[in-house]
Amino acid sequence: MYKNQNMMFLGGFQPPKKHVEPEKPKEIIDPEEVIKNLPMSEYRKQMTEHTECLERSAMLKIIQSEVSEFCSLSTLCPPLALTLLSQRGLNQHKLLDQFYADDNFLKHNGFSEHFTDYLCPEEKVFPSDYISLRNTRIDNVVINEEQVCDVMGKGYNRCLAVLALIYCQNNFAEAIDYLQQGSLFKKVPKKLQQYRGKILPPYDTLQKCEVFSVSPEFYFDVSLHYRSEKNVIDAITNNNVANNFVKWFDMLKQRLERNKIEREKLLEGKSVTCDVCYEDYLPEEMVRNRCGDSFCRKCVTDYVRNAMKESGKTIGVLKCMRSGCPSCLCLDVIRSVLDDFAYYRCCELIISNFIQTDSECLCKYCCNEKCTKVLHYKGKYTQLSKGVTGLCNCQTSVCLRCGEENHRPASCEMNKKWQELMKKDGLNMKWIKENSRKCPKCETFIEKNGGCQWMSCYKCQSFFCWVCMQITNDHQHKPGQECKPYKAKEIEGSYVDEPTLNLLTHYDLQNVGVKQALERNQAILKILKEKKLILSTLVPLYEASLVEIDAHVVLQNLLIYEYGTPQKKELIDFQLKAFQLPAELLTKEIQKILKMEVITVETMSDLTSMVGKTKKIFENIVNSFEEEEEYDEND
């Protein structure tokens, strides 16, 4: 209709508005996705190719998958297979050989029934997230039972601990402060009164004070009157409750007695005797093991709980309670007698034993104290020709053979000797020899950190001269004393020599370098997440920080390698000097960029070039030493 869009119009008519295409919103890139697709050094590829970083909560599922191969061959359920494996140090080859060599293998090991069936639901025995078992839900509130135990450790009973944590929203420090103020003992806030009768006593309290099983409300009220769990138990077992509880207490004892009489009547019709305590129980109060033996639930529960308290190492191979029976209590039997939090602790023990014992499934906790991840080797142990190092999501690298921090190219044996050196008393003696002297009277080591030469021993209060080390009067020599310079005697015992001390000094410096590089890496990651629109420009900085971490780790580990192979000292020193400079230059460049207000593409381009060169140098160094070590082993 309008041929010229720029023409002027008079009157009330207006030209049609020019159609403007709406701007497309700029695509927001996910930093985590970009980081995943970064070009990776061969050094890091070797650490990620065959390993996976998992949440600690997945460990039970890993254990279940590890026994699944044997289960598929033997048609046994995982809890029974895990018990048989645990009895043989988690050696699958040993178990398979014995299983197929003996037609009556299960019978000879004490198992006569329930080979394929779970004695407790599978999802309860191998939960997908066992860590969630440490949480208890009370109405709409979730309480961490570990925190409850920590509060109880300060001398408070379970009910007070739970109420304080609810009131302070699971803040441990605030909960302790709240309890110390004592206001909870005077009057329970209205918002906490709704939990009356919903907080159950601990297992031990319930065993000693049966009246609480009749009335949880009674436990709630009594707990507000007595501070510690011990005070609560003493009041009930000694029949010494406060006057306002006496009538209620007597009524509950009568109800408990009536319940016992009714139970006795049921026992007359059908009862089973426990082979441990020799008491009569109803069939539903018994727990049957796979060997056919039955025991009362209380005896089995106490047996399992005591085993967990004593050492925990026997929990996977806990013997049947009948004397002479070779079978064990399988994991599903154990699960059937434990509450969620007790089973969580049981799982922690089983997982810890599994990680320490299983040589066919390389699995280790991350060495970073702030990290809770687990590193798992995806292949088979028998496929390994040398050690394997895994990389955690927190950028900490861990040796999956020894569980220590990454020590490539040094072997586990070299690293072990190095760690022993670090713990030696000789190092302390070296420092003492160089920095302190013995009191001439009591022989206590004393360090001089300033002031005049007149010294006073903090232990025996005697005065002496630091120059000649003779006992003197206060601030002057005794008559006839001659002040001759003191010559230190050799301290008995060995201490490290100068070359080793030099290695230790440089190791400490590189250790600081690793920690600082890790901190910079986290700072850069934070910047990437905040500056998503310029992510592609900043990505090389993140890659550079990874190379910086690896560079300092390699420099650190070369010092361990030199200590383990002194015959290669000259070669290693040459490599250290060659690599030290580019590593330091990379660190300085990253530090400089982090201080810049404006980061240009040219700056990133120069950094990328520097990263490529540094990466190539340390990859060649590590590979050359590892190939040489492998050659020496095969020779």
491: pLDDT strictly greater than 50: no
Q: 588 or 26: whose pLDDT is higher?
A: 588
Greatest mean pLDDT range, 1-15, 301-315, 374-388:
301-315
- Residue 365 phi/psi, 5-degree rounding, is -70, 150
Q: Tell me how far apart the alpha carbons of residues 537 and 528 are, in angstroms, rounded to a whole number.
A: 10
220: pLDDT strictly greater than 70: yes
DSSP conformational letter for 319: B
pLDDT score for 10? 40
Greatest mean pLDDT range, 62-66, 150-154, 389-393, 548-552:
150-154
pLDDT score for 8? 41
Return the percentage of the chain with pLDDT > 70, whole number: 83
CB contact at 8 A, 179 and 156: yes
Strand partners of residue 464: 455, 471
Domain map of the chain by residue range? 32-50+382-424+496-635, 130-241, 430-494
Long-range (24+ apart) CB contacts under 8 A made by 520-527 are 520/545, 520/548, 520/590, 520/591, 520/594, 521/395, 521/545, 521/546, 521/548, 521/549, 523/594, 524/594, 525/31, 525/35
pLDDT score for 209? 94
Reported as type and span, the H/E element at residue 600 is none
Q: Roughly what angle, to the nearest 10 degrees, separates helices 601-634 and 569-595?
A: 160
Q: In this structure, which amino acid lies at residue 378? A: K
**Mean per-residue pLDDT for 519-533?**
80
pLDDT score for 42? 75
Indicate the pLDDT class of residue 254, thresholds 50, 70 and 90.
very high
430: pLDDT strictly greater than 70: no
306: pLDDT strictly greater than 90: yes
What confidence tens digit (pLDDT) does each residue in 363-393 have?
888 888 888 888 888 776 554 556 688 888 8
Indicate the pLDDT class of residue 261, thresholds 50, 70 and 90.
very high
Indicate the pLDDT class of residue 492, thresholds 50, 70 and 90.
very low
pLDDT score for 124? 93
Q: Tell me how far apart the alpha carbons of residues 595 and 604 are, in angstroms, rounded to a whole number.
A: 14
Q: In this structure, which amino acid lies at residue 337? A: V
> Which range, of 168-177, 423-432, 474-483, averages the lowest pLDDT?
423-432
Indicate the pLDDT class of residue 2, thresholds 50, 70 and 90.
very low
493: pLDDT strictly greater than 60: no
Contacts of 356 (CB under 8 A, 6+ apart): none
Instruction: Classify the phi-psi angles of 469: left when phi > 0, otherwise alpha if psi is within -120 to 50, otherwise beta.
Output: left
Half-sphere exposure of 534 (CA within 13 A, CB side): 11
What would you measure as the largest C-alpha separation in the chain, in angstroms? 126
Q: Tell me how far apart the alpha carbons of residues 465 and 472 are, in angstroms, rounded to a whole number.
A: 7
pLDDT score for 532? 63
**Mean per-residue pLDDT for 160-166?**
94
Owner of token pair 């009973």: 157
pLDDT score for 276? 93
Q: 192 or 44: whose pLDDT is higher?
A: 192
What confidence tens digit (pLDDT) does each residue in 70-107 have?
888 788 899 999 999 888 887 888 888 899 899 899 99
| CB burial of residue 486 (10 Å; 0-12, 13-18, 19+) | middle
> Which range, of 26-30, 346-350, 467-471, 543-547, averages the lowest pLDDT?
26-30
pLDDT score for 179? 92
Q: Tell me how far apart the alpha carbons of residues 2 and 444 are, in angstroms, rounded to a whole number.
A: 105
**Mean per-residue pLDDT for 175-189?**
85
Long-range (24+ apart) CB contacts under 8 A made by 18-26 are 26/533
> Which range, of 61-65, 128-132, 220-224, 464-468, averages the lowest pLDDT?
464-468
Query: Which of 239, 245, 252, 204 shows the shortest CA–CA distance to 221?
Result: 245
Reported as type and span, the H/E element at residue 377 is strand 374-377
Query: Which of 411, 475, 420 shows the shortest CA–CA distance to 630?
Result: 411
Q: Tell me how far apart the alpha carbons of residues 537 and 614 are, in angstroms, rounded to a whole number.
A: 20
Return the percentage of the chain with pLDDT > 90, whole number: 32
CB contact at 8 A, 209 and 231: no
6: pLDDT strictly greater than 50: no
Give the chain's mean pLDDT: 83
| CB burial of residue 218 (10 Å; 0-12, 13-18, 19+) | buried
Start-to-end CA span in the chain (Å)? 92
CB contact at 8 A, 295 and 275: yes
Q: Tell me how far apart the alpha carbons of residues 157 and 204 are, in angstroms, rounded to a whole number.
A: 12
5: pLDDT strictly greater than 50: no
Strand partners of residue 280: 273
Supply the Cα-derived Rg of the chain in whole angstroms: 35
Indicate the pLDDT class of residue 39, thresholds 50, 70 and 90.
low
Indicate the pLDDT class of residue 4, thresholds 50, 70 and 90.
very low
Residues in the chain, total: 635
pLDDT score for 168? 92
Torsion of CA 625, 631, 634, 635, to 10 degrees: -120
**DSSP helix/strand/coil, 233:** helix
